[in-house]
Copies of this chain bind each other. A is one copy, B any other.
Amino acid sequence: MKKKRKVTKSVARNAFYAQSGGVSAVINASACGVIETARKHRNRIGNLYAGRNGIVGALTEDLIDTGKESAAAIRALRHTPGGAFGTARYKLKGLDKNRAEYERLIEVFRAHDIGYFFYNGGNDSMDTAHKVSQIGVELGFPITCIGVPKTVDNDLPFTDQCPGFGSVAKYIAVSTLEAALDVASMARTSTKVFVLEVMGRHAGWIAAAAGLAGHRAGDPPHIVLFPEIPFDQAKFLERVKQCVTDYGYCVVVVSEGASYPDGKFLAEAGTKDAFGHTQLGGVGPVVADMVRANLGFKYHWAVADYLQRSARHIASKVDVEQAYAVGKAAVELALKGHDAIMPIIRRRSAKPYRWTIDYVPLAKVANVEKHVPREYITEDGFGITAACRRYLEPLISGEDYPPYRNGLPVYAELRLSPVPRKLSTTFVV
């Protein structure tokens, strides 16, 4: 006979979860981890509310009652891309500049008896979570704040990788491999240079992942352009020409953040529209046109944009598992009494790949950006080294296909039931 634990109802407090910043193929897997784990601890966590459109939902008291979602719907979050509760590009200002925002958050949390704050995002969000923790104490409303790491850019420090990155990395590696086969087969009489633009404004991790597509010397991608390496046009064009001579074609993968030595983005190359306005084109067409103008090769270019970070259909199994794990760990760590921390992924072994969950203080994470180290980039600046490959390969391993119906993935559909408002005050974002 099982021993019945004595549950004091009044001990349970509510929790708040929000998604922040750009979404990924697996941020909902983290949400799934948070919600399913919270549901296992009803004696400690009463209701779990999600912010509609992220932190904006908290500020405007627009909360979603995740308790109204079925277990099946929550389970389906694990294989659903995008941000199911809505997210926000909204950075809270510094405490000195806009203390009102933080006070408003505490006002809403107090009204709904929210004792736990789970914030699923990148760098800025970890900073926000840290500040909320501090201000809560100051205002006499202590709240447990846990950051849940997420960013396709992979630029958070301490964690071996950021959930979201492994899947976009897999998408880019697979797409590069496939498109390169296309170009290789056409090159004799058609396209000789193919340019793929990938995300990564400051860190070139996603571009680096394209490098996984090639295994031997001469394999595409022949050139990867990183934000970490100042762009040298002459050297680049020389290499393109050499590739076309040697292999018959050239596949180029370029980070959106690739820039000239003076720090100017290639994408701001000064293309103007018919009215003289600067055209905000992507860097992909800029690089392709540079090849055309200087070398005259027939080219094609692709810009994957949102397709890359929402491509749940080709998510990395490791990434999905890690995204879920950091969500689960966030709740478990909170219940163990931790505060102002972020769960991280620690690599225990490379081959076979083994990882565990650890954690670091939010104070150490906030506003630190992890770039691709120089030793991960080949000496010529155009490719990835063996060390980089060893780091990246495990992160894209395994497939985790969503279920399909009539040829399309079946993604979660939530009710998104609003929590009745308790405050008479409003807040304009």
Would you mind naming 13 contact pairs between A and B with Cβ atoms under 8 Å apart? A81-B178, A87-B186, A89-B186, A177-B408, A178-B312, A181-B310, A189-B429, A272-B273, A281-B281, A301-B305, A304-B304, A393-B406, A399-B401
Contact flags A151-173 to B (C-beta < 8 A → 1, else 0): 00000000000000000001001
Which residues from chain B contact A183 at a C-beta distance below 8 Å? Answer: 306
Interface residues on A, range: 35 or more
* Smallest CB separation, A393 vs chain B (Å): 6
Which residues from chain B contact A81 at a C-beta distance below 8 Å? Answer: 178, 181-182
The 7 closest A-B pairs by CB, nearest first: A82-B181, A83-B185, A396-B407, A302-B305, A53-B188, A178-B310, A182-B310
Please give the count of copies of this chain that the complex contains: 2
Contact flags A180-197 to B (C-beta < 8 A → 1, else 0): 011111101110001010
A406 touches B397 (CB 8 A): yes
Complex: A398 Cα to B267 Cα, angstroms: 39
Residue on B nearest A173 in the bound complex, by CB: B408
Residues 406-429 of A at the B interface (beta carbon under 8 Å):
406-409, 411, 429
Chain A residues within CB distance 8 Å of chain B: 19, 22-23, 25, 53-54, 56, 80-90, 170, 173-175, 177-179, 181-186, 188-190, 194, 196, 212-213, 269-274, 277, 279-282, 284-285, 289, 292-293, 300-307, 309-314, 316, 393, 395-399, 401, 404, 406-409, 411, 429
Residue on B nearest A286 in the bound complex, by CB: B273
Across the interface, A89 reaches (CB within 8 A) one of B190, B282, B314, namely: B190
Across the interface, A300 reaches (CB within 8 A) one of B212, B300, B305, B401, namely: B305
Which residues from chain B contact A311 at a C-beta distance below 8 Å? Answer: 175, 178
B83 touches A170 (CB 8 A): no
Instruction: Decide: A84 near B304, CB < 8 A? Known: A398-B407, A399-B401, A407-B316.
Output: no
Of A85, A395, A396, most B-chain CB atoms within 10 Å: A396
Which residues from chain B contact A307 at a C-beta distance below 8 Å? Answer: 175, 178-179, 196, 302, 304, 307
Complex: A122 Cα to B268 Cα, angstroms: 39
Additional A-B contacts beyond A174-B313, A399-B404 (20; CB < 8 A) = A81-B181, A83-B185, A89-B186, A89-B189, A173-B408, A177-B408, A179-B310, A196-B307, A269-B274, A271-B271, A271-B279, A272-B272, A273-B289, A277-B293, A279-B279, A280-B292, A302-B303, A396-B406, A397-B407, A398-B407
* Smallest CB separation, A167 vs chain B (Å): 11
Which residues from chain B contact A270 at a C-beta distance below 8 Å? Answer: 273-274
A173 touches B411 (CB 8 A): no
Across the interface, A173 reaches (CB within 8 A) one of B179, B289, B312, B407, namely: B407
Complex: A85 Cα to B181 Cα, angstroms: 11
* Smallest CB separation, A39 vs chain B (Å): 23
Complex: A316 Cα to B342 Cα, angstroms: 41
Which residues from chain B contact A301 at a C-beta distance below 8 Å? Answer: 303, 305
Across the interface, A179 reaches (CB within 8 A) one of B273, B302, B306, B407, namely: B306
Complex: A49 Cα to B267 Cα, angstroms: 46
Residue on B nearest A55 in the bound complex, by CB: B189
